[in-house]
Copies of this chain bind each other. A is one copy, B any other.
Amino acid sequence: MPAPIKSAKPDFEVIRRNKVYEEVAKQIERLILKKLKPGDKLPSERELAEILQVSRSSIRDAIRGLELVGLVEPRQGTGTIVRERPTESSVNPFADALKRRQGLVTELLDFRKMLEPPLAARAAANASAEEISEMEDILLRQEKKQSRGDAAIGEDAEFHYSIALASGNSVVLKVIDTLMDLLRDTREHSLQVEGRAQKSLAGHRRILAAVKRHDAEAAKSAMRRHIEDVEEIVLNTKF
């Protein structure tokens, strides 16, 4: 195993002003990942401006960026739609990050292995009836998709997110946002791998079952096992 870089503890970190359109791009990207399928329409630019509380110009800058990367295609008069497959555009910043990506995926999984089992235990202890039925819905959607042979990427992420929600700890949500940011470059790879794996479905079923009978220990170990399965798949997948 290659030693991960251990950064010295810095007193200061150079400050970079965050640009609004970059922030907008992130959120749109996240929306696409979580809820939208290729072919779906984004909310209109004016709507987005309203929702995100920024000007339409900033929305447009963001969309222009996503268009350059090939994620999205604006059509005058119709709206902006999510592309089928991220096109291989000439502008591909991801290519550079290939090597770092592999390490990051591994570390993210390792982190999830630490955090998610106790999270599942909390969820088993605290989950309300609504939260459980939400999980069931997501799982059902995942099953339907996979039986059609589709990758259930969004559903996979949603399932884990719903577990986090049910833990009743709002700090977790902030942390998840951080992880999502880290995931941006990696999205296609680790999530798709996970989303395609049949094993993932079985893992989710076991976790949900434990949560439903409020068995914290079982939920914890089911989650641990599930992530170890995913880990195995990822490690055996060529990048």
Contact A107 B169 (CB under 8 A): yes
Q: Chain A at the B interface: mostly helix, strand, loop or mixed?
A: helix
Chain A 1-41 per-residue mask, 1 if CB under 8 angstroms from chain B, else 0? 00111110101111101101001100100010011000000
- A171 close to B182 (CB less than 8 A): yes
> A11 touching B23 by the CB < 8 A rule?
no
Closest to A54 in B: B15
Q: Name A51's closest neighbour in chain B (CB-CB).
A: B12
Task: With A4-B170, A7-B173, A15-B53 as known contacts, state yes or no: A114 contacts B107, CB within 8 Å.
Answer: no
Q: A115-B115, A168-B3 are in contact. Are A14 and B175 (CB under 8 A)?
A: no
Cα distance A179–B27 in the bound complex, in angstroms: 21
Whether B170 and A5, one on each chain, are in contact in the complex, defined by CB atoms closer than 8 angstroms, is yes
Copies, count:
2
Question: Is A165 an interface residue, CB under 8 A from the partner?
Answer: yes
Q: Which residue of B lies closest to A110 (CB)?
A: B169
Verify if A94 is at the interface (C-beta below 8 Å from B): no
CB of A4 within 8 A of CB of B107, answer no
* Cα distance A52–B165 in the bound complex, in angstroms: 36
Choose among A13, A119, A173, A179 the residue with the greatest number of B CB atoms under 10 Å from its CB. Answer: A13
Q: Which residue of B lies closest to A5 (CB)?
A: B170
Binary B-proximity of A112-155 (CB < 8 A = 1, otherwise 0): 01110011001000000000000000000000000000000000
Beyond the given A4-B170, A6-B165, please list 7 additional residue pairs across the A-B interface where CB-CB is below 8 A.
Answer: A7-B170, A9-B165, A107-B169, A113-B118, A114-B169, A171-B179, A177-B178
Residues of chain A at the chain B interface (Cβ within 8 Å): 3-7, 9, 11-15, 17-18, 20, 23-24, 27, 31, 34-35, 51-54, 104, 107-108, 110-111, 113-115, 118-119, 122, 161, 165, 168-175, 177-179, 182
